[in-house]
Chain A
């Protein structure tokens, strides 16, 4: 067995995305006030209605208090000690890859994010062994630095662009839908986001269109003492289909950094939105120093009949995760899904789960949550299933499984179930287990190292969730699980 020092070493060096990119930045002065909000709005060349929206949100936020009900613990956040805008100086919003700072391109290459569009030769069948094409919107601190495949997508009417651009170019759509799923004053962090959000992705899939490729956004925090406030809005019109992925990383730093995002999804009749996340923000070191505070509001509205929204998340990073991707199931026979793997090690804290609000007749939801705790970490599943009187015949099935590695970590399950319709069916199953010594021994007797054995068992435990991820991502996620848990047994 490896020595303790060796294990600690492997844990500390296991965050491979912790490097910093040296690039000249346009940084707003520290602090949060109306002037800063005006500055952000001016930098983004926003119309007046957007500025007013922000100011209204800021006014609401000032009257709100930070929530304290989650099972997480952190020193008070000084909101005046952050930069709310940080962008590479060279060019804001370049139109083509040629205009992107080569330093940035190098960084994305290092992160393995494909920003180069592969030339498509007419009449040539794509090689099945090659990676499938994925359109990427790359958000670096407060700005989107590149969005690929926009032309290919626009041919079928799909809009995929930075949200700051959508505010200028598609104001009618943004005005209609922004804040329609997560209202400005929904919660403390959503209000903060509405006031100061800087960039994120905008996706619009027109009626009957099946998006021809996976869309993805890659978020990178780079600048010191900044917060990242991403805003994403996805609209799928009747009969539209889209699969969207997001990934995120940040440099390894001793101070905590705030990431407060808001994601809104809207699905009309027969539309399907599949939203997958691999969250790998810097988790802090082995002593719990540093790491990202990931305070995120994600919510989808199944407005149309038979519409479907599916959230899949693999959460391995962040010092603290506070996140409940939810579905409001308004349409008849609409479907909400939440598949989650949350891994915590060292001193990480995760309080995550979902809300399924059943409004429409025959709406159904599935929740599968797998929590894995190791080290001194705490991992909480918090979920709400609410059946309104209108939701006749609604169904929910919830399965929450926790796996403990070692004996200094905690797993908690906090389910809330409110049913106000007697024809609804709600099921909840929960298990907590430890990786059993006999399982480890069985694997090792067959020749597997202890780490490989833990990986195999953990991946088996998460299988139901991992199989929901697009193929490419599933492989990445498996590797990430392995890296996250490196050295957690010993």
Chain B
């Protein structure tokens, strides 16, 4: 279970998160919506430990551990996965090698044996097939020359392989066509289990048609101003954020 209490964070002098309270029970998918600049991506970065942000107050407990005290790699080992809004390119680094290094790092942290290249490829090919990704995606350099859709699918592939306990998807649906959107949603749905939860940051109801959330939260000015069931997302799609913002003001 993810338990965020009174979380505040800033970048430089600028305070971005101004007191987030949010509980995501095991097995649930929560959607985070809200206007641009409201702090949605920052929340993802702060939870995964990006050093550009300073946590100025509050606490985050994840399955009983103090998440904020851990290095990013230790958070990853604890099961936190961030699907990047703009996945990073690693020139010259083969995607399969990258994924295997990451998977083995996580396996090592769990005291599991590492996979050799052959074992890894076997596992990886099952996932690429399921995600309708061409096999050569594993041979190419990490995100280099990938289309927007390929980059997002590569994030979902990583998530499928690393099997996180908490997945944070930062606008993974943006820029995707309907088919790709469905693949992303299926990728998350396939992981759904009583020990998996997800925070889905999105602007669009259409992702939530395929990936039905337990709860929807609206983030504005660094605070959650409204929470509700899946119907809240449909309401926002119709009325925009203006109504909710005015109500909260």
Known: A446-B76, A459-B93. A452 touches B51 (CB 8 A): no
Q: How many residues of A contact B (CB 8 A)?
A: 24
Stretch touching chain B among A125-133, A280-288, A437-445: A437-445
CB pair B73 A456 closer than 8 Å = no
| B48-70 Cβ-contact flags toward A at 8 Å (1 or 0) | 11111000000000000000000
CB pair A452 B105 closer than 8 Å = yes
CB pair A441 B90 closer than 8 Å = no
Q: Which residue in A1, A439, A452, A464 is a CB contact (below 8 Å) of B101?
A: A452
Complex Cα distance, B102 from A457, in Å, reads 13
16 A-B pairs with C-beta separation under 8 A: A441-B50, A441-B88, A445-B49, A445-B72, A445-B76, A446-B76, A446-B102, A446-B105, A447-B77, A447-B162, A452-B101, A457-B93, A460-B92, A461-B92, A463-B92, A464-B92
Task: List residues of A whose CB falls within 8 A of some B CB.
Answer: 1, 436-439, 441-450, 452, 456-457, 459-464
Known: A445-B72, A447-B105, A449-B105. A437 touches B52 (CB 8 A): yes
Residue of chain B at shortest CB distance from A450: B73
Chain B nearest CB from A454 CB (Å) reads 12
Residue of chain B at shortest CB distance from A455: B101
CB pair B82 A445 closer than 8 Å = yes
Please indicate which of the listed interface residues A437, A438, A464 has the most CB atoms of chain B within 10 Å of its own CB. Answer: A438
Task: List residues of B whose CB falls within 8 A of some A CB.
Answer: 48-52, 71-73, 75-77, 81-82, 84, 87-88, 90-94, 97-98, 101-103, 105-106, 109, 141, 158, 162
Complex Cα distance, B162 from A445, in Å, reads 11
Chain A nearest CB from B198 CB (Å) reads 16
Q: Which residue in A437, A448, A459, A461 is a CB contact (below 8 Å) of B105?
A: A448
Q: Which residue in A441, A449, A460, A463 is a CB contact (below 8 Å) of B51?
A: A441
CB pair A446 B90 closer than 8 Å = no
Residue of chain A at shortest CB distance from B97: A456
Complex Cα distance, B8 from A481, in Å, reads 40
Residue of chain B at shortest CB distance from A466: B92
CB pair A448 B102 closer than 8 Å = yes
CB pair A447 B76 closer than 8 Å = yes
Chain B nearest CB from A333 CB (Å) reads 30
CB pair A442 B84 closer than 8 Å = yes
Complex Cα distance, B141 from A438, in Å, reads 16
CB pair A460 B76 closer than 8 Å = no
Known: A438-B88, A441-B50, A445-B72. A456 touches B105 (CB 8 A): no
Complex Cα distance, B82 from A438, in Å, reads 13
Please indicate which of the listed interface residues A436, A443, A450 has the most CB atoms of chain B within 10 Å of its own CB. Answer: A443
Q: Which residue in A436, A437, A442, A447 is a CB contact (below 8 Å) of B87?
A: A442
Chain A nearest CB from B95 CB (Å) reads 11
Complex Cα distance, B90 from A448, in Å, reads 14
Residue of chain B at shortest CB distance from A431: B91
Q: Which residues of B contact A436 (CB under 8 A)?
A: 88
CB pair B52 A447 closer than 8 Å = no
Q: Which residues of A contact B93 (CB under 8 A)?
A: 456-457, 459-460
Complex Cα distance, B88 from A438, in Å, reads 7
Residue of chain B at shortest CB distance from A439: B88
Please indicate which of the listed interface residues A438, A444, A463 has the most CB atoms of chain B within 10 Å of its own CB. Answer: A444
Q: Which residue in A437, A447, A452, A462 is a CB contact (below 8 Å) of B109?
A: A447
CB pair B90 A456 closer than 8 Å = yes
Residue of chain A at shortest CB distance from B92: A460
Known: A437-B52, A448-B73. A460 touches B101 (CB 8 A): no
Residue of chain A at shortest CB distance from B45: A441
Residue of chain A at shortest CB distance from B108: A447
CB pair B90 A460 closer than 8 Å = yes
CB pair B92 A442 closer than 8 Å = no
Q: Which residues of A contact B84 (CB under 8 A)?
A: 442
Known: A447-B73, A447-B76. A456 touches B48 (CB 8 A): no
Residue of chain B at shortest CB distance from A433: B91
Chain B nearest CB from A189 CB (Å) reads 34
Complex Cα distance, B91 from A459, in Å, reads 10
CB pair B162 A446 closer than 8 Å = yes
Known: A442-B90, A459-B93, A460-B93. A449 touches B73 (CB 8 A): yes
CB pair B91 A461 closer than 8 Å = yes
CB pair A456 B98 closer than 8 Å = yes
Q: Which residues of A contact B105 (CB under 8 A)?
A: 446-449, 452
Complex Cα distance, B51 from A444, in Å, reads 11
